[in-house]
A and B are shown apart, each in its own frame.
Chain A
Amino acid sequence: MTTKPVFEPGATPVLECENVVKELGQGAGLVVALKDVSISLVPGELTLLMGPSGSGKTTLLSILGCIMQPTSGSLKIAGQTVAGLSAEELAKIRRDHIGFIFQSYNLFPTLNAIENVRIALDVRGITGYAATSRAEDVLRDVGLGHRLTNYPGNLSGGEQQRVAVARAIASSPSIVLADEPTAALDSENGHAVMALLSRIAKEQKRSVLAVTHDPRTLGYADRVVRIEDGKIVGEERRPEGLNAPEITDLTKRRKLHA
C-alpha cells in the first residue's frame, strides 16, 4: 500500500519523500527494506514513525536523514533533490538542514556538555564566543543550565538525551530526526524528552520525526505514521483540539476495538 503525502493546508513540506525503495544486500541475500514509501514533513509538527522491529523504521530514518541513499524513488530536502549526490554533498545537506538525536545519545565521552553541543556548531563553521554562547543558550533551554560543564559520564540518561537534543537543535535545523529517543530512558525522563521534542516542533516551527515503538510517546504526536514490512500501512493525525492524554486514550480505545 502506498500512502500519498498528506500536507497541512498552506504548510510547505521541508522534506518530501516519494515512492522510495531500498534494497539491502545482493543476490540470494537481497532484502527489500523499504517498498514504495512516501512521507512528508511540515514545520511545526511532531511526527512519530512507529512499527515493530525490522519493519524498516531505521532504514527510512537513515534515508530521510541523508545518511543512506534510496535504491529508487525521490527525496527532497528544503526543495533540493537528494538523489545522486555525493557523500560530501549529503553531509552538507545534513549540516544545513538536519539535526539528529540517537537512541544511545552518541555523546562524546571526552567532551563536556557545552563542548558536545559546540562540536555540532563547529562542523558548521560556527566557532568561538558565538558557539559557546549558543551552546549555553540551548542547554539552558533544555533545562541543563546547571550541568554545562559536566561530562556525559556524570549525567543521567535523561540529561544525556537532553544534551543530545540540545546538540541537534543548536544550529537551528529545519528538520530534527530522532531514533528511539526514549528507548533508553525511564518513564519520567521519556516523557520529559518527548515534551521537549513537542515544544521544539511547536515553538521553533521545526519538523520533528521520531522513530519509536514506545506507546508512551503517542500523546505527544501530531501525526503517527505506521510502518510494517517496509511499507507504510497507516497514518493518523491528532484530532483538532485534542490534548496529549486524550489522544493516548483514543489510541487505547482504537486498540480495544481492533
Chain B
Amino acid sequence: MILTLAIRNLLHDRVRLAVTLIGILFSIVLVAVQLGLYLGASRMITSNIDHADADLFVTTFGAKSFEDGGLLLTDRERHQALATPGVQSVVPLLVSFAEWRKPGGGSTRVVVIGSDFEDKGLIPWGLTAGTLEDIKSPDGIAVDKSYLGELGIQGLGDSAQAGDGRVKVKALTEGVRSFTQYPFAYTTLTRARSLFPVPRDTSTFMLLKLAPGADPEQVKMSLSSRLEKSEVLTKDEFRARSLKQWLFRTGAGIALIGGAILGSLVGTVIVAQTLYSSTKDHIHEFATLRALGSSASYIHKVILAQAGLSAVIGYALGMSIALAVIYASRSSALPMVMTPNLAVWLFALTVAMCAISAISAILKVTKIDPATVFSR
C-alpha cells in the first residue's frame, strides 16, 4: 500500500509531477553532459598514454603532460635505463609541436609523434585508411580524418610541410582527437627526428617495459637514482599529471565539474520544492494515517517512495535525452562519453538527489499533529 499511495499521490497532481520530472530530467541531462564532456576530455588527454605499451615512462624533469615533454632525452638516458635491473626494454618516443604549412596557404600547428612501430612503443590506432607499413614509407604520416579540413588537405596522398621537412599523408585514423585541438601526426621515430633541428638520438619519452616479476616501485627507484635529470612515472602517475595540467591548471575540468554540481543542485531544489508542496497538500491524509496508528517511519516510506519513483522515471527520461545528446556529439571537437559506471553513478546521484529532496517533506510530516484530523 505504501507504493500504491505514493503512486496515487504523484499522479493526483499531474502538473506537479511533470514539473518534478522536468526538474530531474534537466538535472540529469546537465550532469550527464558535463561529466560526459569531462570523461571525453580525460580520454582525449590520456589517449596516447593509454595506448602506449609501457609500464613506466621516463620524461624530462617537470614534464606537465604528454605534449609537454620537450626534446631533451638522448641515447645516454636510454642506455642507463636499459642497464637498470628489472628493465626489459626501452623504446624512445618523440612528441613535439611543429608548424604545419597548409598546401593552399596558411599554417597551423600539429603534435608530431614519432615511434618505431616494430618496438611496439606507441602504435597509431583507429586506422581507417592506409596501414602501418604505409606510414613507414618515405615522408609517411597518419592524421585523423576529422582534421583534414583544418590541415588544409583532402586526404591520402596529400603533402604538406611539417617543421623542417615535407610529409605525405599515407594513413588516416578515426576518433583520435587532441584536447589541445592541434592534430596528432603519427610517423616513424627517424622521420619525426628529421623534422626538428635536434641531434639524431633525441627523444621526448622513454617507454619502459619491465621484466617479468620485476617490482615496478623498486625499478622506478633505481631508475630515479640513475637518471638525475629525468623523472620516472608509472602510467597512472603520468595520466594523472596530464589530466591535472589540462583539466585543472587550465580550469576546464573545474568548469565541467562545477556545471555538474550546479545541475545536481538545481535538480535537488526543484524536486525538494515539488515534494514539499505535494506533502503539504496531502498533510491531512498523513495526519489521518498517523491517527490510524501508523508509525512515523510508515509515512516517511510513503514520501521516500514518491521520491524514489520520481527518481526512476526522471532518470529514465533524462538518460534517454542525455544519450541522444552524447550520440550527436560523436563527431564534434570534444565528443562526450557515457560509460556503464557513469550511468550507474548518475542513477545513484538521482536517487540521492531525490532522497535529499525528501528531507524537507519528511521534516514537515514529522511535525504532524494527529489531532488535526478532528479539525477538518
Contact = CB atoms under 8 A, between A and B. Distances in A.
B15 to A, nearest CB: 16
A104 interface: yes
Interface stretch (A7-15, A44-52, A106-114, A243-251): A106-114
B374 A62 contact: yes
Given A88-B295, A98-B293, A108-B285, A115 B376 contact: no
A171 to B, nearest CB: 9
A65 B12 contact: no
A119 B371 contact: no
Contacts of B259: none
Interface stretch (A71-79, A120-128, A234-242): A120-128
Contacts of A61: 374
A96 to B, nearest CB: 8
A17 B158 CA distance: 101
Contacts of B290: 91
B296 A119 contact: no
B195 interface: no
A92 B4 contact: no
Contact of B373 (A102, A118, A127, A131): A102
A127 B1 contact: yes
Contact of A94 (B9, B284, B293): B293
B21 to A, nearest CB: 19
A123 B292 contact: yes
B11, B289, B374, most chain A CB atoms within 10 A: B374
A223 interface: no
A102 B296 contact: no
B161 interface: no
B374 A94 contact: no
Nearest to B296: A88
Given A58-B374, A115-B4, A122-B2, A110 B292 contact: no
Given A62-B374, A104-B376, A179-B374, A123 B294 contact: yes
A111 B4 contact: yes
Given A67-B370, A119-B1, A122-B2, A106 B293 contact: no
B12 A102 contact: no
Given A94-B292, A100-B291, A68 B1 contact: no
Interface string B328-341: 00000000000000
Contacts of A95: 292-294
A172 to B, nearest CB: 13
A91 B294 contact: yes
Given A92-B293, A110-B8, A102 B1 contact: no
Given A62-B374, A91-B290, A100-B373, A110 B295 contact: no
Contacts of B284: 106
B288 interface: yes
Contact of B374 (A96, A102, A124): A102
Interface in B202-228: none
Contact of B371 (A68, A88, A98, A111): A68
A87 interface: yes
Given A68-B371, A106-B284, A123 B291 contact: no
B298 interface: yes
Interface string B289-320: 11111111010000000000000000000000
B298 A123 contact: yes
A10 B370 CA distance: 35
Contacts of B291: 65, 67, 94, 100, 106
A95 B294 CA distance: 7
B5 interface: yes
Interface in A105-164: 106, 108-111, 115, 118-120, 122-124, 127, 131
Contacts of A109: 12
Contacts of A65: 291
Contact of A118 (B1, B285, B294, B298): B1
B371 A67 contact: yes
Nearest to A94: B293
A103 to B, nearest CB: 8
A104 B374 CA distance: 8
B357 to A, nearest CB: 21
B304 to A, nearest CB: 16
A123 B4 contact: no
Contacts of B296: 87-88, 91
B165 to A, nearest CB: 77
B133 to A, nearest CB: 71
Contacts of A179: 374
Which of B1, B5, B296, B371 has the largest count of A CB atoms less than 10 A from its CB? B1
A67 B288 CA distance: 11
Contacts of A106: 284-285, 288, 291, 373, 376
19 contacts: A67-B291, A67-B370, A88-B295, A91-B290, A91-B293, A91-B294, A91-B296, A94-B291, A95-B292, A103-B376, A106-B285, A108-B288, A110-B12, A115-B1, A119-B1, A119-B292, A120-B292, A127-B1, A179-B374
Given A91-B290, A106-B291, A108-B285, 16 more contacts: A62-B374, A65-B291, A87-B296, A91-B296, A94-B293, A102-B288, A106-B284, A106-B376, A108-B8, A108-B288, A109-B12, A110-B5, A115-B4, A122-B1, A123-B295, A131-B1
List the 7 closest A-B pairs by CB distance, nearest first: A95-B293, A110-B8, A94-B293, A123-B294, A122-B1, A106-B288, A104-B376
Interface of B: 1-2, 4-5, 8-9, 11-12, 284-285, 288-296, 298, 370-371, 373-374, 376
